[in-house]
Copies of this chain bind each other. A is one copy, B any other.
């Protein structure tokens, strides 16, 4: 049984994590902490792995405590920069057995979609991304779409492909979407939707489409549990859940 602690346990995602850990046959939920709770409760409870869904302002202190105390961490909190990565690497250098996973997206399907997009990108003349979310979302495009477009663009550059050929000479402003590293990204906002993305590739006489639909936030839980299991045997800093998948 893996002894798991959860930070941000009362939040929307954290409470879902607590339920998922409780349901998992190979895990035991030993600590549920939220803002204001004392971190040493983690060591007192004997937590082996901690899941952090807290806040950019809190996550670095949490991580420092965990690493120093030999606890592995799977992190879903956002706000990481290259500087923060560097700090983490230094802390981890002093604790060579400890693993930390930073995952921008824990949905397995989103991770697979991004990986497949990278694998396909070199074989197609053209590529675009459509992301579709509920109309309460504040930012466009989504982080996952931006991430996907950048990855596609990087592969295209490696393969000697530049911006896709586009004969558009007359465009109503915005019709062709936003350009993220030369890749067109379109953001649809509709009531009733949750979180969805399509990556479209087009070549001679054919198209390839990879679509991910997240219909409920429970979709993140299998990825969180996989992260908890794998981070124990992957010391050091891991960025992206895809590193733990056999792709």
Chain A: residues with CB nearer than 8 A to chain B?
Answer: 107-110, 112-113, 115-116, 119-120, 122-128, 130, 132, 135-141, 146, 164-180, 184-194, 200-222, 245-247
Residues of B within 8 A of A218 (CB): 204-205
Cα distance, A9 to B116, chains bound together (Å): 35
Copies in the complex: 4
Q: Are A170 and B139 in contact (CB under 8 A)?
A: yes
A-B contact pairs, 10 of them (CB 8 A): A124-B191, A126-B135, A138-B169, A139-B168, A140-B168, A140-B175, A176-B189, A192-B215, A205-B220, A208-B212
Task: Identify which of B120, B139, B180, B209 contacts A211 (C-beta below 8 A).
Answer: B209
Provide the residues of chain B in CB contact with A201, threshold 8 Å.
Answer: 109, 190
- CA separation between A168 and B134, bound complex, in Å? 11
For A207, what are the chain B residues with a Cβ–Cβ distance below 8 Å?
Answer: 109, 190, 192-193, 212-213, 215
Taking CB atoms, residues of chain B closer than 8 Å to A130 are 130, 186, 188
Cα distance A186–B219 when bound, in Å? 26
Q: Please, how many angstroms separate the alpha-carbon atoms of A200 and B130 in the complex?
A: 13
Bound Cα distance from A132 to B213, whole angstroms: 14
Partner of A112, one of B113, B123, B128: B123
Taking the closest CB of chain B, its distance from the CB of A102, in whole angstroms, is: 20
A127 to chain B, nearest CB (A): 8
